[in-house]
Amino acid sequence: MTPFELVYFESQSSYSSFTGNCSVGDIQISQSQLPGRGGLPTFIVEVRNICPTRCDIAEIHLNCAGFSHENVIDPKILMHSKNSNICIINNNQPLKFRAAVLFEYSTNFMYKFSVASVECV
């Protein structure tokens, strides 16, 4: 698996997505430090849709004031303008139920991301 890809996890049962209520709490952010590669520490971040009503979620925006990194991150996965405190996930496109996006960054410390806003689709 490459560090910049959209990953879908589906259950064995069938389901259909529908417009419903969702909240910032329906997006789960987890991250961990990757094994040493020399140089700056590298972290991998997973942003996952865990909506309990199996909704799709779009326009996922993370609080990322002060976030800086040394490596290139695909802007379709995470877009961050140095003049903004918001990071855009998945190019504002819907993240299906149980789907996740992953990205890596390298810096001296693990950054604490939090969800700023989402839109139910």
- For residue 36, what pLDDT is reported? 75
- For residue 3, what pLDDT is reported? 44
Rounded to whole angstroms, the Cα distance separating 47 from 59 reads 13
Q: Answer left, alpha or beta for residue 12, where phi above 0 means left and psi between -120 and 50 means alpha.
A: alpha
- For residue 14, what pLDDT is reported? 29
Rounded to whole angstroms, the Cα distance separating 105 from 7 reads 18
Answer whether 0.85 is exceeded by the pTM: no
Q: Which fold has domain 6-120?
A: Immunoglobulin-like (2.60.40)
Q: Closest by alpha carbon to 23, among 52, 63, 47, 45?
A: 52
Rounded to whole angstroms, the Cα distance separating 7 from 97 reads 11
- For residue 82, what pLDDT is reported? 75
- For residue 90, what pLDDT is reported? 98
- Pick out the chain residues at pLDDT < 70: 1-20
For residues 34, 36, 39, 40, the Cα torsion angle rounded to the nearest 10 degrees is 30
Rounded to whole angstroms, the Cα distance separating 82 from 65 reads 9
- For residue 20, what pLDDT is reported? 58
Query: In one letter, which amino acid is 11?
Result: S
